[in-house]
Chain A
Amino acid sequence: MNHSHASALQSFARNLQWLLTLRLAVQLATVWFFTWGVVILALRIFGVQNIYWLTMGLFAVAPLALVASWRAKKQRAPLTKIRASYDHINACGGIIMSAETLDADAWMAQLPRIAAPRLRWRSGRAFLLLMSSAVFVMITLLLPNRLTHFPGHRLEIGQIVQQLKAEVNVLAQEKIIDPQKSAELQKQLSQLQDDSLGYDPAKTWEALDHIKQSDSDEAHQAAQEALDKTTSLAEAETLAKAMEQAADSGMNATTASQAAQDLASMLSAAKLDDGLLNAQIPPALLAGLTGLNKEQMEKLLQGLEANKGLLSMDVSNLMNLKMIDAATLAKLEAAGLCENPDALADYLSTCTNCDNALLCMRLGKGGPGGGGPGAPMTWSDGASEKDLKFQEHALPPSPHLSQAQLIGVSKAAPQLAGSDISAQHGALDNAAAAGGAANARVILPEQRQAVQTYFKRDN
């Protein structure tokens, strides 16, 4: 065969192979992109949000190119057919085909110089589909998370999460938790909100409960700590004020020293600088408690008052978010209050041996004639037993045996209807026994108020 025709034929065969390989590669890539996009969409709908792993599908393009090359090579048309096409498209009248088996050089020389047929691939549709599939993959990757979840299956926890975030913020602001833990909790809450799925809410609720319980524990711990410290601060303040007044009234040095020691030990025992809520009192004042002048005492009082205010504000913030109840705040406001600090000041100014001054201040509640167990602590007008007498009450008669009705005779021991034994008639009507029936003590009606007050008291 003529050399130019041979080279043109080889060029045609090579171009045809390349074109078919490219076409197959584009088709395979299109199919793969659409499949990949659908898989991404399905995975994201079912909760996989890690885009990094989803983009790994891009690496499948290289094997696809190899597959396309292999398949195109396998489906390659025989050279006879390519030669026939070459002959046909150039209108050689079968001479090129004949040259495969016969000596047709004489005729080949007469053929005009011809080039390899031009291959034209109407690739617009194929590339449009490829671009569409690629855009589809991009969209599935970049789709916002809220669009990849079915609206009906979302778990509506936004409000709860916002509430918890606010709680975490307050805890962080009050330095109840450290900033690192706060950031971690905020991140966990955000992720919970993103990942929450309606068809499997248990995990989300469990996590939310855990965070809420953690916040609540921290808040209660902080509130309890604030209560204790406020109590100590209030008591210290009461004592300090009494000392200040007593000093003006001529408190002797021994009493002043003893009271100062009590005040120091009180502040030391309170451990104001430990725990979640720190109270700050100038160390110079704390160090020189035994020798404070009036001005220093004023500063100490101001410090105590300021710390009480700070603690109260912290607890108020916690209560605003309902992390603690109002009763706790009320307790805080009433903690350590002394209703009659003047009496303590008088006591200090008149006392010559005040070893138990602090003890008296803390435990002095009630007393004879003080009005019962709930009576406030007083430091004046001591109780008097004058004119006190018990009021007599006549007990109602017990039911007579003759009024009893015989229901039946049993050989077994009588059985009680319930665990409580209560009287049905007379003075013991509705009186319930606590504990075992045999040792039950009957509480009389006039004792009931006192007993209830006793059990309701705060330790």
Chain B
Amino acid sequence: MPETILKPEELQPVTELARKTLEQLDRILLGRRDLHRLVLIGILSRGHILLEGLPGLGKTALVRTIGQILKLDFKRVQFTPDLMPGDVLGSHILQETASGKRELVFQPGPVFTNILLADEINRASPKTQSAMLETMQENSVTLLGTTRDLPQPFFVLASQNPIELEGTYPLPEAQLDRFLFRVMFDNVDVDVLNQIISERRRGELPPPTWQMERADLQTLFQTMGKIYLPRPVSHYIARLVSATHPGAVEATGPVNSYVSYGASPRAAIAIAEAARANALVAGRPSVGFEDVKTVAPPVLNHRLILNYQARFDRMTPSKLVGELLDQLDETGLNLPKDVELAKV
């Protein structure tokens, strides 16, 4: 924990970097400002992001653009049922050396990059999906007893189609838990669509006019560690995650009715990190309650395991998290219901 808070003159240049990044994203990809902000927060938090949406909404374009702006390596893998782990992680192949000997040489897979777009990740077999587990959590690949670190930074931006379920393998909860965010790709409105048609012939994206240097990205990561998380806010995050478990002290009625398993401690860590990143992007040296409320839905909505009753009642994790955020008192002051605080 930092003993001094960041000074305005220290934070301002870093915030400017984030602002420029967002500006570039918003300029290149139209109509998704909030989504861009969330993706940037996810990257600053060094988390992996699961993009969920229909085809053609710009998932690949988003990942490619981020790679361009951040000057990071970008690779894309289209997941299919016959995709093997070696196709993703890499494999050893027999090669003849200059001396005429033959030896097994490791041929790195597409995972050895900075940003990996795992397109339609739910179409791969569980064997291949589980091969991603180590890479996502440990940022390394172990093959034939040899562990190889992945290049840093390393992000997985996976996508999945929510409507085509035939021939898919839904991601297990353990793997879902490794994604920092699950972000929903919604359709853009008519004005944005009109602007896309008018300004993007054949869908070609304009090149970024500004790119972030590697050193700047490192500065961003370092500054993230200096964002102060006040004790009441961390307490709020802990209470929030605890309240997602049925039977908890502050669990709401819907949580008790519909949730089988709540969020893990990894979720609490994810909320804290994402809230720090949100504060950084907003240009503040400390995390506030609003930061938590902003990042909590994408962190929690894929971590709650609902029961069958929730399916019958058409209850979704997003609704549950929304109700929880509305009902849980942020400060823990627990004022009576008939007493309200209002800004003067």
Contacts and interface: CB of A to CB of B under 8 A. Distances in A.
Contact of A94 (B3, B287, B340): B287
Nearest to A110: B8
A118 B339 CA distance: 10
Contacts of B330: 84, 88
A260 to B, nearest CB: 103
B8 A123 contact: no
Contact of A119 (B4, B286, B339): B339
Interface string A112-137: 00111111111101100000000000
A106 interface: yes
A84 B331 contact: yes
B338 to A, nearest CB: 4
* A interface residue count range (under 10 / 10 to 19 / 20 to 34 / 35 or more): 35 or more
A123 B338 contact: yes
A371 B208 CA distance: 160
A75 B282 CA distance: 36
Interface string B214-235: 0000000000000011111100
B333 interface: yes
A117 B5 contact: no
A94 B333 contact: no
A91 interface: yes
A232 to B, nearest CB: 90
B288 A94 contact: yes
B64 interface: no
A85 interface: yes
A102 B3 contact: yes
Contact of B228 (A92, A98, A117): A98
Contacts of A118: 341-344
Contacts, number: 122
Contacts of B340: 119-122
Contact of B331 (A20, A85, A90): A85
Nearest to A124: B338
How many interface residues does chain B have, given as a range?
35 or more
B11 to A, nearest CB: 9
A103 interface: yes
Contacts of A92: 288
A116 B230 contact: no
Contact of A117 (B8, B230, B279, B341): B341
A87 interface: yes
A405 interface: no
Q: State the main secondary structure of chain B at its contact with A.
A: loop
Contacts of A337: none
Nearest to A99: B5
Contacts of B231: 80, 97, 101
A179 to B, nearest CB: 64
A107 interface: yes
Contact of A23 (B4, B288, B339, B344): B339
A202 B230 CA distance: 78
A103 to B, nearest CB: 6
B336 A23 contact: yes
Nearest to B233: A94
Given A87-B288, A106-B7, A19 B331 contact: no
Contacts of B339: 19-20, 23, 119-122
Nearest to B232: A84
B333 A107 contact: no
Contacts of A88: 288-290, 330-331
A106 B11 CA distance: 12
A19 B336 CA distance: 11
B282 A93 contact: yes
Contact of B233 (A20, A97, A107, A117): A97
Output the residue of A80, A94, A97, A107 with the most chain B CB within 10 A.
A94
B228 A82 contact: no
B341 A85 contact: yes
A88 B292 CA distance: 12
B331 A81 contact: yes
A77 interface: yes
Contacts of B47: none
Contact of B5 (A19, A77, A102, A114): A102
A285 to B, nearest CB: 94
Contact of B332 (A81, A91, A103, A107): A81
A264 interface: no
B228 to A, nearest CB: 5
A107 B338 contact: no
A30 B341 CA distance: 25
A89 B341 CA distance: 7
Contacts of B286: 93-95, 97-98, 104
Contacts of A123: 338
A114 B279 CA distance: 21
17 contacts: A80-B232, A81-B333, A85-B341, A91-B290, A94-B228, A94-B230, A94-B287, A98-B228, A98-B285, A101-B231, A117-B341, A117-B342, A118-B341, A118-B342, A118-B343, A120-B341, A122-B340
Given A83-B232, A102-B228, A104-B5, 18 more contacts: A20-B336, A23-B336, A84-B330, A88-B290, A88-B330, A89-B342, A92-B288, A94-B287, A95-B285, A102-B3, A103-B4, A104-B286, A114-B344, A117-B341, A118-B344, A121-B338, A122-B338, A126-B338
Interface of B: 2-5, 7-8, 228-233, 279, 282, 284-291, 330-334, 336, 338-344
Interface of A: 19-20, 23, 77, 80-85, 87-95, 97-98, 100-104, 106-107, 110, 114-123, 125-126
6 A-B pairs closest in CB distance: A94-B286, A97-B230, A84-B232, A93-B288, A94-B288, A84-B331
